[in-house]
Every structure is written in structure tokens, then in C-alpha cells.
Copies of this chain bind each other. A is one copy, B any other.
Amino acid sequence: MKTRSLIVALCATSLPLFAAPLSPAWAEEGMWTFDAFPSAKVGQAYGFAPDQKWLDRVRLSALRLTGGCSSSIVSNQGLVLTNHHCVRDCAQANSTEKTDYAAEGFLAVTLADEKKCPGQQAEQLTAITDVTADIMKAIGDATGPALAKARDGQIATIEKAGCTDLAKERCQVVTLFGGGQYKLYKYRKFSDVRLVYAPEADAAFFGGDPDNFNFPRYDLDAAFLRIYENGKPFATPAHLTWAARAPKEGEVVFIAGNPGSTQRLYTQAQFTMLRDVTLPATELYIAELRGRIIAASAGDAEKTRTGSELLFGMENSYKALYGQWQALLNPEFAGKLAAGEADLKAKVAADPATAAKVGDPWTQVAKAQATYREIYKPYAFLETRGNISDLYNYAKQLVRAAKERTKPNGERLPGYTDSQLPLLEKNLLDPRPIYPWLEELVLSYWMSKTREALTTDDPRVKAMLGKESPEQLGHRLVTGTTLADPAVRKALFDGGLDAIKASKDPLIQFALANDDAARALRDRYRFEVEAPTIAAQSKLAQARFAAYGTSLYPDATFTLRLSYGGVKGWTYQGVTVPTTTYFKGMFERATGADPFKLPPKVLAAQSKIDMTKPVDFVSDNDIIGGNSGSPILDKTGSVIGAVFDGNIHSLGGAYGFDPAVNRSVSVSTVAVEEALTKIYPAPRLIKELHGG
């Protein structure tokens, strides 16, 4: 499953999504920006070259979902296609002990039944402007803290100047090629996003975690949202055409979405850090937490319901990161990465002018990584791992936002500038259910692991825990706080630093008391790891442009990209996997036992369903987590499916694309229509999809 938010929350790899062009060895594919799509190359390979009109229409139809997914407008009334797993949190937020829309599905019979999704915002990319020169000028010869402050200050200034109507617009400067390019992305934003349709979890996620990232697959992992403006559906001519037709073997297909993060040309030092430190630590953290959630909710229907979204996220992240880690541990795969670096070094060495200009950025990166390794544990535990608790995250954001808003826009921590505050405020203030048992569990877990990692005698741990155990403290904080109430959060947000300091809320006090220690680590990371790495990556980008030309695509940055490829299966260890699965196979795979249990409505419709119709299919488009919900388009620009996953071989795609086996997995529009006709009859939606 290709979402990205939890991975980012857990990984503490929040460098601004280092971008780096592919070395030529693996450069057959790519996640291309819309302002540099290689249409001619596609035309040569597939006999069809998207023109500017095609590209513009797709760009305006594809929406980023701030929850960590992608999507597309598929009607002139703002109907939005995405995945079930991208709306799980919305379905769960709208559920109660008596009605579980995440598990049992949801269908809005009328417009009035559509339900608001807390924290969700849809964003339409309207313009891309190159601001590289501006940023580079601001940075000048600065290094370390000065570099970070100059760069981040200039970004804040550009973003503020770029978007004046913050109710409708969002501006974001995107760092591409690790600092080689900066682009201002301007978005039309939709803060009112509502849930229209989601099937049951057992249909959308049939096969559960065992089948996740696998194929053949039989998941109805599609859902519909709708974007609203002023309380009405957003009417727009910019939308995709819905084509409920089966994919054709070998046909060219395009995926427009927001791949979250790739690290394809990290240096060897960065890969080593990932392989030996970041990924293992993150996996171990997730593994035990996963176990705790599973056992705490076993046999308890309400805890199972309320814990399911977090558990899904943990399991999905665990499996995705596991695949990434294994790729780096694979001698052959790792050898290709090493060869890529060696090739670039050799080319630079053979080009004196470039060599003189770029120096030795590899050693600079290695030094920064050595610092990162040194601070990793305290940084991860004190600054990032606690954010998995909604309540603690509220408290921390309220404390940070209050402190930062006392500063001029250009001097604030990234994340708290004027251009970024509206989404932060929405996430803070949208009403959203809080599950105290789960909050206690994750908060106590985080604190116990912080003590385990930093030791009992670390002064920061002593300050955090005092004389309480992590369990006692977690219980006291969760039962004592009133931050679950959006009105309380709003009062604290509006009240600023005075209100925060005056607050008697134990969680606010806790976040305030621990903020200096956490912030000190954030500063060390920002100034001693991030800043020198950005400087070095900027040189590496120059080296790559000199060595391989400028027709390269940047690493993924959770911004809109377009990938192309063909509908095709793969062969691995002598086994050939065909492109498409059919309803017949779904029923054959069902055992009746979780997670291979089809829901009652699907079973009831069995005799009506056309067993020869496609369910899911694969293509060799280059995607990564964050692409979930992306439309998969044919050459006419019509949508024939929604991407919801990659195969198991796609997990190494974070570091390198292997065209022989890396595949994206999509749910067919045919399957969606079959479901909306035979299983969950939704004439209103069918009509709308067909332009009625």
C-alpha cells in the first residue's frame, strides 16, 4: 500500500526528501515533473507522445491529498477517485462504536450524506516556477546554521509572496535534486473534502497484510471523495474521463500522482546509515508497537475498530521499510548502487572543470552522516517518535506554533511559516475522534522506548519521566488532558504563547517541559546534518548534470509526477506472473478466515458478479509510497484504474528501479463499476461517472 505519512512520522529521515537524478544504468524509467516530461522519449518507445494540452489536463485533474495519498477528479462535480486505504482514517473518524464505516464500508446515497474528512485537504497544482537562482543567491557562500537559516528564510519569503489568498491557495518551494533546483509549486487547495464511497475493508484489503505488496491480488481498493467549496461540490471542467474498460496487455499507461520519497542517488554513506541505523531502528520500533496494538485489541471489538487504522499503518510501513532494508542488504542490488556512485566519481575525476567546481561532496555527506549517526537515537526518540500520539502531537504543535509565531516569518522553524500555518491549523483544529486507550498505549510505549534507547540515567529521560513509570505517566497525561476537545485546542492556538504558558493541561506542560531538549536535537540535525548535506547534494547535482546531461528526473518529493510504462507482468525465478486478475480468482482465494474472508455483501453478490471481469492489474510504471490513489491513464487521458500498491520487488524502488520486476498494482475501473453495480448499487455515482 502506497501511502507515506506514517513512514515519514517514524523514520526520522525528514531531510527534505533528497532528490538526485538516476545514473544512466537504471534510467529507463522515472517519476517526472510536469515541467520536464520526456514526451519525445515516450513517443519513440510507445508511438504516443503526450502534448502540452494532455499534460495540462492531467496535471489539473490530479490532486494531492495531504493525508499522504494521491487522487484525481473524475466528474464535473468534483468527484475524486482514490483508494480505500486513503480514506480509511476518514471512514474511521466518522464511525462510532455502533457504526464502523472503515470495516463495513460507506455509501452516501445522496449528496447530503457525504461526510467530512478531518485533516484532509486536496491540492491541485496550478503553476510551477523556477526559483533556484533566488535561493542560491540567498545562500551565497553560507554553511551550517547560516546556510539553513538563509535558505529556509528565503523559502518562507518566496512562499509568502507567491500566494496571497491563503483560503484558496497554497505555495510550497520544492527542493529538487537535493538542492540542485528549487521550484515554487502553487496549488489551488480544497480544505473541505468529503467521503462519498468506500467498500468494506475485507473487500478493499482482501488478503490483508499477508497479501500487501504482493500480486496476484484481488483488492477492491478504490474509494470516492468529493471536493467542496463554500459547502457545495466544486464544479470543474478539469477532470478525467472515466473509462470502465479492461487494461490491454502492453498498452502504454501513465500514472499521475505524488510519490513520497525516493533516495535513488543517496551516496554510499547515506545508504549505509539507512541500512545499519535508520531502517533497523525504525523496524524494531514498529515491530513491538504492532505487537502491542494487536494484543491489546485482540478479542475486543471496540479496540479492534478504533485501533485498526493505526495498526494498518504500522503493518504497511513495516512491510514497506522491510523491503527497502532488504534491498540494501542484497549484495547484487547494493552493488549496483555502489557502481552508480563509482561511475559518477570516475566521470567527475575525468572532467577537471567539474571536479574543480564540485570538490568532494561524497566526503562532506559522509561527515554529516557520521554526525547523524551520533545524534540519531536522541533525535529520533526525543524529536520524532512521540508524534505518533495524536494528543502529544497536538500538544507539541501547539507549543511549537506558539513559540514560532512570536518570530518574523523568515526566522521560524520550517513547518511554522505563514505559508505552512493554514494546513497545520486545519490539522490541529479539525474535530477528530481520540481513543484514550490507544493514546495511552502509544504514549507509554514511546516513553518506555525512549528510556530504553537513551538509558534511565540520561538527564533528558529523567526530566521526561520524573519518578513515574512510562505507564503511569502515559495514563496521567491522557486522562488529565483536555486536548481531545477541538475548542480547547483552538483556544490554545489562538491564545498563543501566553495561553500555552498559563495552561494547566498536563500534556501541554509536558510538551513545554520537554521542548527545549527536543528542539536542541532538531537544531543539531538541521544545522549539522541537513545543511552540509544540502550543500553537498547541490554539488552532486552539478556533477550529475555535467556527467549525464540535464534530462534527468529528481527523486520523489511528494509532489506531482508523471510516470509512463506498459501494462505488463513479470517473470521471477522462472515463474511468470500475468498482468491481470479476475473476480473468479478472488472467490477461489477466499478461505472464510481473516484476512481471506470476503464480506457478506460480496458473497451475496457472487452469483451476479461477472467472474471474467478484471479486478487488479500491473504495469511497469515507476511509483513509490504516496502514489496511492493515483489515476492510471491510457493515452487518451482516460482513467482505467487507481494505483494502490507496488509488487514486492517495487520496495527496493526507493533506491533504484529494476524494470524487469518492479511493478505497480492498480484496481481496474471495471472492478469498481462491477462493485458499484452488483455489490454496492450506487446509481447516483455510476451516472455521475458517465457524465450524467
A interface residue numbers (CB < 8 A to B) = 207, 209-211, 214, 276-277, 280, 283-284, 287-296, 298, 325, 329, 441, 451-452, 455-456, 467-469, 471-472, 591-596
Contacts and interface: CB of A to CB of B under 8 A. Distances in A.
Contacts of A441: 295
Given A283-B284, A290-B288, A452-B209, A472 B593 contact: yes
Contacts of A471: 298, 594
How many copies of this chain?
A: 2
Contact of A287 (B214, B288, B468): B288
Contacts of A591: 467-468
A210 B290 contact: no
A207 B441 CA distance: 21
Given A284-B287, A469-B594, 17 more contacts: A207-B456, A209-B452, A210-B455, A210-B456, A214-B455, A277-B329, A287-B287, A288-B290, A289-B291, A294-B295, A296-B296, A296-B298, A298-B471, A456-B596, A468-B591, A469-B593, A472-B593
A279 to B, nearest CB: 10
19 contacts: A210-B451, A210-B452, A210-B456, A214-B455, A277-B329, A280-B325, A283-B284, A287-B287, A287-B291, A290-B291, A291-B294, A292-B292, A292-B294, A298-B471, A456-B596, A467-B592, A468-B593, A469-B593, A469-B594
A581 to B, nearest CB: 13
Contacts of A472: 593
A456 B592 CA distance: 14
A445 to B, nearest CB: 8
Contacts of A210: 451-452, 455-456
Nearest to A284: B287
Contacts of A277: 329
A209 B211 CA distance: 36
Contacts of A298: 296, 471
Contacts of A293: 291, 295
Nearest to A315: B452
Contact of A295 (B207, B291, B452, B468): B291
A291 B288 CA distance: 5
Nearest to A211: B456
A315 to B, nearest CB: 9
A289 B289 CA distance: 10
Contacts of A280: 280, 283, 325
A209 B448 CA distance: 10
Top-5 shortest CB links A-B: A291-B291, A288-B291, A295-B295, A287-B287, A291-B292
Contact of A467 (B214, B455, B593, B595): B593
A471 B294 CA distance: 12
A288 B314 CA distance: 12
A284 B290 CA distance: 11
Contacts of A595: 469
A376 B5 CA distance: 32
A275 to B, nearest CB: 9
A222 to B, nearest CB: 23
A329 B291 contact: no
Interface centre among A329, A467, A468, A469 (most CB of B within 10 A): A469
A262 B193 CA distance: 59
Contacts of A467: 591-593
Nearest to A469: B593
Nearest to A595: B469
A325 B277 CA distance: 11
A215 to B, nearest CB: 11
Nearest to A330: B276
A24 to B, nearest CB: 29
A477 to B, nearest CB: 15
A294 B207 CA distance: 27
A594 B444 CA distance: 13
Contacts of A211: 456
Contacts of A452: 209-210
A440 to B, nearest CB: 10
A284 B289 CA distance: 11
A253 to B, nearest CB: 27
Nearest to A457: B214
A460 to B, nearest CB: 14
A572 to B, nearest CB: 13
A28 to B, nearest CB: 28
Contacts of A290: 288, 291
A173 B209 CA distance: 46
A373 B280 CA distance: 19
A210 B468 CA distance: 14
